[in-house]
Structure 1
Amino acid sequence: MHTILLHIKKLDPPRNITALVHSGTLEIQWVWPESCCSQTDACFIYELKINNEIKNLKNDLVYKYANIKPTSRYTIQIRTKHDDACLNDNDIWSDWSKPVVIDPEISSTPALNASVIICIALVLPMILLAIILVCKLQRLTEKLFPSIPNPSKKVQILLEKEDFNQVTPKQIEETAEILEVSG
């Protein structure tokens, strides 16, 4: 009678279920359940439920679900039973494991880093302040030391002549006529 109870024992669900997304593939891993009768993975059959789609697996502790949608949410559960090769007449499945949820909106949110926040809050305003001060300093320099304007081309030509200080007779006649008219 004791051996019959052993064969109909309901197993615990698989343990330590982890799910990771790697380049478009959902990789699911788990540890075989504690069992009173078997300590090898070959004695278990698994049913893997991904969003109500059931996959039957034997002798595996890893499953790769390819071509996942990066925006979709996935709920994963696993249950197990003994294989008929190890224990005969065992058709009792374990309960489903606790759901493991892969939600890209939650998992893609980066964690806040304190150093990044400090840099943004302190360093960025200091850089902006330095830029503003450089611009103001340039305006202040222009006000304190204005540029000296260049003379026009006609004045430059006149100043470059060697006989600039000598008065020409034509210029004397023009000045005399102006004096006569004024007088």
Structure 2
Amino acid sequence: MMLAKFFLLLAVVWTFEVNAAISSFLEEMIKMNPPMNIRISSGSFGEYTVSWDGNCTFQDNVYYQLDYKYLNPSDSKSYSYFVQEYQKKMDLELHRGLFTQVKLGYFGDTDDEISSNWTERTFDLPRDSFASVDNLTCIFYGNTYMNCTWDINENAPENEQYILSYRKEQTSDMYNCTNYRMSGARNTGCVGHKYDIDLSYEIIICISELNNKTKLPYCRKVKPYYFHKLNNPINVRINKSTDEVTWNLPEVNFGPSCYKYQLNITNWNDKEDQKVKNTSVAKYVISRDKTKRYSVQVRALVNDICLESTIWSDWSKPLIIAPDVKDISFLTIAAVFAVILVVLTLLLVLICIKCKLVSKVFQPIPDAGETFKGLFEECNGDFQKWINKNP
């Protein structure tokens, strides 16, 4: 029994010594072989290869760690890769400038980090190394079509033409825009282009100069779902007994819990009384003064439960809500009928009175022939003759 314990202890000591020796060897090998001479080379649209020199025999858990981030002060996000080779192909927005650092390290189950020193390099190419455009932005309308626009720099050649291409990240299949918007003779947008790649795939979109192949393309890495714009809601209606507004989306690509909505409620009797309300379901009970006129519009967005978007749909057509018509009671009807009857009676009285006054004012003209028959029958209207005959 004692002999077995002795051999067990010997095995533990031996294992510890061997592991210590291996650890010492790895630490010396790693620290003595930091990466050197970081460089970058361009490949297909937006693809670049970051490479370096090294002298390392790769083993389990021994990797090069490559970190990079863009030089934009407003974007400090850092990206990391672990590779067992001397290069890494990446899709980059190189026009933003790039800071890179590489180190060799043992990334195993040891508590102590074993790594070489970082080797760093910054790539900040002149702006005129890239296609002379800026502000490339795209909006995706489901898996149907996309619209992209860009600005042309002031120093861009007047006869230069621009083309848009895109591909899924880390693939080589390229797609080209089929329908351009032009300003003068130059393309400034890609509109109504059929887009049928799943929105969850990250893509890289590049603008290239057609006549200048020496310039690098101006590229952006885009998550299409982040710029996904829904069609505006339809069939907006209200139940006036409950004041519940409901609506529909023309296309539903996700579950009902994947959307959020906003309602723009406007009181037309007081234009300053305008409210925007949020809801996660396709219905909302509004609060209103039923004696006033309102309009309601709705817009939609994919929420962060599914594939979060940053672009709201357009507002729906306004739903006009007229003031409610009050029910007329029996007493009100009777009162109105009595008033009408009184008014009609007064009108009849006035008509009768008016007829008597007319008869008095416009008396019939007396017939002189009846009163003075001799004047007309015997003297033929000769007044002097009639006087002499009847002194």
Q: Given the two structures, how large is their TM-score scaled by the length of structure 2?
A: 0.24
Q: Given the two structures, how large is their TM-score scaled by the length of structure 1?
A: 0.49
Larger relative contact order (Cα-Cα within 8 Å, sequence gap ≥ 6): 1
Task: Choose between structure 1 and 2: higher helix proportion.
Answer: 1
